[in-house]
C-alpha cells in the first residue's frame, strides 16, 4: 500500500536524537529553545512556543487570546476536528464559515457576509481560526482586515503549511494574525514525531503560552508576584497543562527544519507532475493562487462524478484495492456526531459538504519515488 503521507527521516535526524539520548537532558533542556529560535528565524516571527502537538498549540493559543465560556470561535468545516475542538476546550461555542469552491480555504466572501449578519444579531466571534488547507495559505490580509473591522482575534491554523508563502511572506510570520500554529505530526512537512509550535510577535501572548504549556508555572524572577525565598522557588500563576515538547523531539525538529526548503520543493515538483499527467481526466485539480506558494502537505482532487459514472465510494474502494492509500481530508466537522449533537445539520455549509462528497487525497510525500507516483497515476486513470 502506498500511503497518502509518510515521514522522511535520514541519518542526521537519527544522530541528533541519539546525541540527546546520550546527553544530560532528554526532556526539558537546551534543545527545545534552540528549536524555537530556529523556527522563529525561519518564518520571521519574534517568538516560537514549542508544545507536544498542534492541538495543544491551538488550545493554549485560544486561552492566551482570552477565549472563555460563552464566547464564540469560528473556523471552517473542511479541517481536522482540532481546529474547532480547541474552542470547545475553553467552553466556547463554535460556528463555521463555508469554504471557497476553488481554493477550499475559508471563503472571504462568506466570512464578510457572516460578520455583517453576526454584528446585527450582536453575536460576533472572539476568535477566528482560518485553516491553510493542504498547505495553501489563506487570503490572510483580507481576513485580517475584516477581523480588525469587527474586533476579532485571528489564530491561523497553519498545521499544513510551514514552508509556504503568501505574497512572498513566510507563513508563520504573524503579519496578518495574532498567533499562528504549526503541527509536526509525521505526515506533515517536517516532523518531531508528535509536536507543534505557536508563533507570535506579541510579548504578552508569548508569556501566557509559555506558562500554559508548563502547568502555569514560572521560574522567571522578574515575573514573580513576591520575592523568591530560595533558589528552589517557583510560582504557579495560572491553571496550565503539561504540554511541553521534549529535547528528543526538538532535536529531530532542528535537523528536519534544515531540509524544509528541500521538502517543500520536492512536494511542489510532485504536485506539478500530478497536474500535468492528470490534465484531461474528469477531475478538478487543486488551484494554487498566483500570490501563493503552497507547501503541498496534501494533494487533493475532486471527482467529476457526473462524468465518471461511479460513486465516490466506488472510486475509493477500487483505488485501495490496487494498493493506493487514498484518503479524505476532510469529513465536514459540523457533521461529526459530536457537533450534530450541538445542533449542526446537513445543508448548513453546502460548499464544504459538496467538496467532501467529491474529494480524494492522493499519496504525496517528499521521499515519494517516481515509480510510486506512476503507480498512483496509472491506477487512478484506470479507475476513472
pLDDT tens by residue, 148-197: 999 999 999 999 999 999 999 999 999 999 999 999 999 999 999 999 99
Same domain, 297 and 172: no
Query: 26: pLDDT confidence band, cut at 50, 70 and 90?
Result: very high
Q: What residues have CB less than 8 Å from 22, skipping those under 6 apart?
A: none
Looking at residue 123, what is its pLDDT?
97
Mean per-residue pLDDT of the chain = 97
Q: Provide the β-strand partners of residue 200.
A: 47, 179
Domain that holds residue 273: 260-383
Q: What is the pLDDT of residues 301-332, one digit of tens each?
A: 999 999 999 999 999 999 999 999 999 999 99
Q: What is the pTM of this model?
A: 0.97
Does 5 map to a domain?
no
Here the CATH number for the domain that contains residue 268 is 3.90.1150.10
- Whether residue 248 is found in the same domain as residue 379: no
Same-domain check for residues 77 and 225 = yes
Contact 84, 339 (CB under 8 A): yes
pLDDT, tens digit (0-9, with 9 covering 90-100), for 239-273: 999 999 999 999 999 999 999 999 999 999 999 99
The pLDDT value recorded for residue 101 is 97
Same domain, yes or no: 278 and 239? no
Whether residues 50 and 64 share a domain: the answer is yes
Got the DSSP string for 24-58? S-SSSSSHHHHHHHHHHHHHT-SEEEEES-HHHHH
Quick one: what percent of the chain has pLDDT higher than 90? 98
Residue 98 included in any domain: yes
Total structural domains within the chain: 2
Residue 90 lies in a domain: yes
Pull the grid cell for residue 16: 541528533
**287 shares a domain with 238:** no
Alpha helices in the chain (DSSP H): 11-21, 31-43, 54-64, 82-89, 108-120, 140-149, 203-212, 247-257, 260-277, 305-308, 312-321, 337-340, 350-358, 370-383
Q: Please identify, among 222, 257, 292, the residue that sits at the C-terminal boundary of a domain.
A: 257
Q: Is residue 197 part of a domain?
A: yes
pLDDT, residue 80, reads 98
Identify whether residues 235 and 307 lie together within a single domain. no
Q: What is the pLDDT of residues 55-109, one digit of tens each?
A: 999 999 999 999 999 999 999 999 999 999 999 999 999 999 999 999 999 999 9
pLDDT mean over 4-14:
98
Q: Are both 275 and 218 inside the same structural domain? A: no
Last residue of a domain, one of 257, 283, 316: 257
- The residue assigned the cell 476536528 is 81
Same domain, 294 and 230: no
Domain boundary among 201, 222, 257: 257
**For residue 115, is it within any domain?**
yes
Query: What CATH number corresponds to the domain at position 202?
Result: 3.40.640.10
What confidence category does residue 13 fall into, taking pLDDT thresholds of 50, 70 and 90?
Answer: very high
Amino acid at each position: 500500500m502506498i500511503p497518502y503521507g509518510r515521514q522522511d527521516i535520514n541519518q542526521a535526524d537519527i544522530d541528533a536524537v541519539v546525541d540527546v539520548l546520550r546527553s544530560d537532558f532528554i526532556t526539558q533542556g537546551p534543545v527545545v529553545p534552540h528549536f524555537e529560535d530556529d523556527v522563529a528565524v525561519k518564518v520571521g516571527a519574534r517568538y516560537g512556543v514549542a508544545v507536544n502537538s498542534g492541538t495543544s498549540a491551538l488550545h493554549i493559543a485560544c486561552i492566551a487570546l482570552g477565549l472563555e465560556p460563552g464566547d464564540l470561535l469560528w473556523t471552517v468545516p473542511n479541517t481536522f476536528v482540532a481546529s474547532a475542538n480547541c474552542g470547545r476546550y475553553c467552553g466556547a461555542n463554535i460556528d463555521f464559515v463555508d469554504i471557497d469552491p476553488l481554493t477550499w480555504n475559508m471563503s472571504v466572501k462568506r466570512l464578510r457576509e457572516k460578520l455583517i449578519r453576526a454584528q446585527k444579531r450582536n453575536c460576533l466571534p472572539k476568535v477566528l481560526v482560518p485553516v491553510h488547507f493542504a498547505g495553501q495559505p489563506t487570503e490572510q490580509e483580507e481576513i485580517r482586515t475584516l477581523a480588525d473591522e469587527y474586533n476579532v482575534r485571528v489564530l491561523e491554523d497553519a498545521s499544513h503549511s510551514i514552508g509556504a508563502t503568501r505574497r512572498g511572506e513566510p507563513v508563520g510570520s504573524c503579519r496578518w494574525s495574532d498567533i499562528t500554529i504549526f503541527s509536526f505530526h509525521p505526515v506533515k512537512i517536517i516532523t518531531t514525531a508528535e509536536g507543534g509550535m505557536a508563533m507570535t510577535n506579541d510579548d504578552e501572548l508569548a508569556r501566557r503560552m509559555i506558562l500554559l504549556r508548563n502547568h502555569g508555572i514560572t521560574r522567571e524572577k522578574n515575573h514573580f508576584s513576591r520575592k523568591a525565598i530560595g533558589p528552589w522557588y517557583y510560582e504557579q500563576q495560572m491553571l496550565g497543562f503539561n504540554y511541553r515538547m521534549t529535547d528528543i523531539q526538538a532535536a529531530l525538529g532542528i535537523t528536519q527544519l534544515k531540509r524544509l526548503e528541500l521538502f517543500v520543493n520536492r512536494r511542489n515538483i510532485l504536485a506539478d507532475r500530478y497536474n500535468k499527467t492528470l490534465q484531461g481526466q474528469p477531475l478538478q485539480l487543486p488551484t494554487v493562487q498566483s500570490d501563493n506558494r503552497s507547501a503541498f502537505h496534501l494533494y487533493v482532487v475532486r471527482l467529476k462524478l457526473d462524468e465518471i459514472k461511479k460513486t465516490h465510494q466506488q472510486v475509493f474502494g477500487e483505488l485501495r484495492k490496487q494498493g493506493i492509500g487514498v484518503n479524505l481530508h476532510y469529513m465536514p466537522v459540523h457533521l461529526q456526531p459530536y457537533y450534530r449533537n450541538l445542533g449542526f445539520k446537513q445543508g448548513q455549509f453546502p460548499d464544504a459538504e459538496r467538496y467532501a462528497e467529491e474529494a480524494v487525497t492522493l499519496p504525496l510525500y517528499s521521499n515519494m519515488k517516481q515509480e510510486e507516483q506512476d503507480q498512483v497515476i496509472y491506477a487512478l486513470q484506470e479507475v476513472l
